[in-house]
């Protein structure tokens, strides 16, 4: 993957008619003309606040006509437009191009090109405003209109937050405009076959200091700081190619989006990924950990940076308002004007699964080549996490990890299905807290085994043995408590009365992924997941269509989440010896990749779970994030799972047990970095080759 894909260069970056550009924790949401319309959820967002709430370009007072949108990278787009034909004319001779780059602010180059045979007079106007409201107020439709205090200078429009004068925005232009409150205007004569352009800079202000916008005048996007960052990311990341142009294009979009979603903690030279645009451009415990796991074949350093950052913010005390508890891994961090007030503070800890996922990822990252020193530094955080699972996590001492929010501000549901109605029984009744989720117990099981593996490596054999015994006991206990013999699947949860919440959900696919499932139970799960009630044709539904709460247009009760399907595919291929598992994994993967193609090569956070036979293309979910980190990373997990790729750097082995779908053709991983070793792997059918593998390493293929 050495550059933007054909899909990136030739298709609009559109979802539900919106264009989303993202770079680090900054993003811009606009329509296909490039306008940010006042009164909508669109805008330029910086540090969880909307710093542009209106950004409308007008030519001669008219809205421009869209021709195309090209997005060669996730942080930039070219809006190709024209002036509407004048009265009595069939065509327009004025081409308008808006070239937009996002990076801690925004630079927009507006180009007017006269394709006619005589000069044309143009009045170009940019209408700009800001409301500086918190990200979630925008998402929930609670944003006001124009809270900015407007100041005008000879060449700048200054917008300041009335409620916090230290926050603001400066709008300037390379071609001096007429500046009026709320607008910049240029009166231009564009010569025949000539062109005119200006560069407009939107520069946020924080603490009365203008933010350094990493975009130099006249700079092509490839040469810009975001472009150089992306090039450096591509230079160090594994190059993935396949014989299937569709899959290769999707993987290239994955690489671009994960590169753009990266947040760099410059002081300590760490990198991690934001959860997703537009609403989750920040570090999330669960999302960032799972994304880092999926992205291991591309770049294992993301995992280490994510864990280091989360370990620094690990819970130290009991705080009911933020739900912080000693050893707990946080859920999310917010730095908007509201300071995370909706969830009790800037850092909120109300998640039940990030803590075991942290321990799981630590051992997995060691297998992929993280240094012993880096891993040992994180072992105290892993042990604190295990202690949280045994004490605060297991609220009633029954051996399972449950959740119940500490105050009425917290999230009602604290697993990955965290909508208020995300956990329900077969009849559709909501589960009552405290709730023990099936997949969380499976993560805890995997986390205990992960810590045992690390204990073994670092000379703690007795501790490793005790941990393995604990895991075996939990596996048996889980089977007894969660399995529903008369239905043939695991309960999605145990409720506050220890009753089985008996809906058939995609959560059981996560149990396959973790390895807690017995072979006997796995065979029945494969049968149920393969039914049309669960397989939509474009991926696995979150809830079976036979359940009482099923709604294909809901957030968690019948929709399709790409990361969820990818985890289920990885789980099925873990149980590849079970009849039907490989076939179902292939079918689910094919459907998901077809959905990705329908979305222009970029998988959204989720989409509606209608049956493919009803609608030939996946139906978008209205407020789905795109790009979204774990959705973007899902194709990488598919590739790894079908390759059967399991490196073990401490033991100098690389296992490749392929079941690659025929449509993929030859799959190549070039410069796959495993610790200090860079390996080239190729899989063609059942044939596996490895170049540059050190002599003291073993390639295991059967």
pLDDT tens readout for residues 21-70: 988 778 899 999 999 998 888 999 988 889 999 999 999 999 999 999 99
Q: Which of 363, 282, 310, 258 is CA-nearest to residue 636?
A: 258
Q: CA-CA-CA-CA torsion for 504, 507, 512, 518, nearest 10 degrees?
A: -50
Can you give the pLDDT at residue 282?
77
Mean pLDDT of 125-129: 96
* Rounded percentage of the chain residues whose pLDDT exceeds 70: 93
Can you give the pLDDT at residue 349?
96
Measured distance CA(639)–CA(345) in Å, rounded: 39
Can you give the pLDDT at residue 145?
54
How do the residues of the chain divide into helix, strand and coil, expressed in percent and rounded to 5?
Answer: 30, 30, 40
- Residue 375: pLDDT above 90? yes
Listed in sequence order, the residues at least 6 apart from 182 whose beta carbon sits closer than 8 Å to its beta carbon are 54, 127, 128, 129, 150, 157
Tokens of 391: 């004490």
Q: In the CATH scheme, what architecture does the domain 236-682 have?
A: Alpha/alpha barrel (1.50)
pTM of the predicted structure, to 2 decimals: 0.89
Mean pLDDT of 88-106: 90
Q: How far is CA 217 from CA 35, 70, 214, 220, 251, in A?
A: 22, 21, 10, 9, 32
Can you give the pLDDT at residue 337?
63
- Residue 594: pLDDT above 60? yes
Can you give the pLDDT at residue 7?
33
Mean pLDDT of 177-199: 96
- Residue 144: pLDDT above 60? no
**How many Cβ atoms sit within 10 Å of the Cβ of residue 28?**
30
- Summarised one tens digit per residue, pLDDT across range 434-472 is 999 999 999 999 999 999 999 999 999 999 999 999 999
Q: In which residue ranges of the chain is CATH 1.50.10.10 found? A: 236-682
424-447 burial string, b = 16+ CB within 10 Å, else e? Answer: bbbeeebbebbbbbbbbbbbbbbb
Can you give the pLDDT at residue 699?
96
Listed in sequence order, the residues at least 6 apart from 320 whose beta carbon sits closer than 8 Å to its beta carbon are 406, 407
- Average pLDDT of the residues of the chain: 91
- Summarised one tens digit per residue, pLDDT across range 257-304 is 898 888 877 677 788 887 766 667 778 999 999 999 999 999 988 999
Tokens of 549: 């709460």
Can you give the pLDDT at residue 248?
95
Can you give the pLDDT at residue 338?
56
Can you give the pLDDT at residue 104?
87
Listed in sequence order, the residues at least 6 apart from 585 whose beta carbon sits closer than 8 Å to its beta carbon are 569, 572, 573, 576, 641, 642, 659
3-state secondary structure of 108: strand
Measured distance CA(217)–CA(172) in Å, rounded: 12
Q: How far is CA 371 from CA 175, 362, 365, in A?
A: 53, 11, 9
- Residue 1: pLDDT above 50? no
Tokens of 359: 């321990």
Would you say domain 17-219 falls under CATH 2.70.98.40? yes
Mean pLDDT of 621-649: 94
Q: In which residue ranges of the chain is CATH 2.70.98.40 found? A: 17-219
Q: How confident is the model at residue 507 (pLDDT cuts 50, 70, 90)?
A: very high
């Amino acid at each position: 993957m050495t550059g933007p894909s054909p899909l990136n260069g030739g298709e609009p970056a559109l979802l539900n008619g919106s264009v989303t550009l993202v770079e680090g924790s900054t993003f811009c949401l606009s329509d296909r003309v490039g306008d940010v319309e006042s009164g909508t959820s669109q805008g330029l967002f910086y540090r969880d606040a909307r710093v542009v709430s209106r950004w409308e370009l007008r030519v001669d007072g008219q809205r421009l006509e869209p021709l195309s949108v090209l997005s060669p990278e996730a942080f930039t787009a070219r809006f190709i437009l024209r002036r509407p034909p004048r009265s009595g004319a069939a065509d327009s001779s004025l081409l308008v191009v808006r070239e937009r780059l996002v990076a801690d602010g925004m630079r927009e180059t507006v180009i007017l090109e006269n394709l006619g045979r005589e000069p044309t007079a143009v009045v170009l106007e940019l209408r700009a405003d800001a409301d500086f409201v918190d990200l979630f107020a925008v998402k929930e439709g609670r944003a006001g209109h124009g809270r900015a205090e407007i100041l005008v200078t000879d060449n700048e429009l200054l917008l300041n937050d009335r409620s916090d004068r230290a926050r603001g925005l400066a709008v300037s232009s390379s071609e001096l405009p007429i500046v009026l409150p709320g607008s910049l205007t240029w009166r231009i004569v564009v010569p025949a076959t000539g062109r005119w352009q200006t560069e407009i800079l939107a520069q946020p202000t924080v603490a009365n200091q203008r933010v350094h916008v990493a975009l130099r005048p006249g700079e092509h996007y490839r040469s810009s700081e975001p472009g150089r960052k992306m090039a450096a990311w591509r230079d160090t990341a594994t190059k993935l190619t396949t014989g299937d142009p569709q899959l290769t294009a999707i993987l290239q979009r994955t690489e671009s989006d994960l590169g753009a979603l990266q947040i760099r903690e410059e002081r300590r030279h760490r990198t991690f990924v934001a959860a997703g645009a537009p609403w989750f451009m920040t570090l999330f415990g669960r999302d960032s950990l799972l994304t880092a796991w999926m992205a291991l074949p591309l770049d294992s350093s993301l995992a280490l940076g994510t864990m280091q950052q989360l370990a620094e913010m690990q819970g130290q005390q009991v705080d009911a308002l933020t739900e912080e508890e000693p050893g707990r891994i946080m859920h999310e961090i917010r730095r908007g004007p509201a300071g995370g007030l909706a969830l009790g503070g800037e850092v909120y800890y109300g998640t039940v699964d990030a803590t075991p996922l942290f321990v799981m990822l630590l051992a997995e990252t060691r297998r992929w080549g993280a240094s012993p020193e880096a891993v040992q530094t994180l072992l105290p955080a892993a042990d604190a996490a295990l202690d949280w699972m045994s004490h605060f996590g297991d609220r009633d001492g029954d051996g399972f990890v449950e959740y119940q929010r500490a105050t009425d501000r917290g999230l009602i549901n604290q697993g990955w299905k965290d909508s208020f109605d995300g956990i329900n029984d077969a009849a559709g009744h909501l589960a009552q807290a405290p709730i023990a989720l099936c997949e969380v117990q499976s993560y805890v099981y995997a986390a205990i085994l992960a810590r045992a593996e690390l204990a073994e490596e670092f000379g703690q054999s007795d501790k490793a043995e005790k941990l393995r015994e604990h895991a075996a006991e939990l596996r048996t206990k889980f089977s007894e408590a969660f399995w529903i013999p008369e239905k043939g699947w695991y309960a999605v949860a145990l409720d506050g009365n220890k009753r089985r919440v008996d809906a058939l959900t995609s959560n059981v696919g996560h149990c396959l992924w973790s390895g807690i499932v017995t072979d006997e139970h796995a065979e029945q799960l494969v049968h149920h997941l393969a039914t049309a009630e669960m397989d939509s044709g474009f991926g696995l539904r979150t809830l079976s269509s036979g359940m009482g709460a099923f709604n294909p247009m809901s957030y968690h009760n019948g929709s399709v989440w790409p990361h969820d399907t990818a985890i289920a595919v990885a789980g099925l291929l873990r149980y590849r010896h079970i009849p039907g598992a490989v076939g179902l994994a292939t079918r689910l993967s094919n459907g998901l990749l077809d959905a990705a193609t329908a979305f222009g090569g970029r998988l959204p956070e989720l989409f509606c779970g209608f049956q493919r036979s009803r609608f030939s293309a996946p139906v978008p979910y209205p407020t789905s994030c795109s790009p979204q980190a774990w959705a973007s990373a899902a194709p990488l997990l598919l590739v790894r799972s079908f390759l059967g790729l399991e490196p073990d750097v401490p033991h100098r082995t690389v296992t490749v047990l392929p079941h690659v779908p025929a449509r993929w053709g030859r799959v190549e991983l070039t410069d796959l970095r495993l610790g200090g070793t860079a390996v080239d792997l190729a899989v063609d059918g059942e044939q596996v080759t490895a170049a540059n593998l050190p002599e003291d390493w073993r390639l295991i293929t059967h």
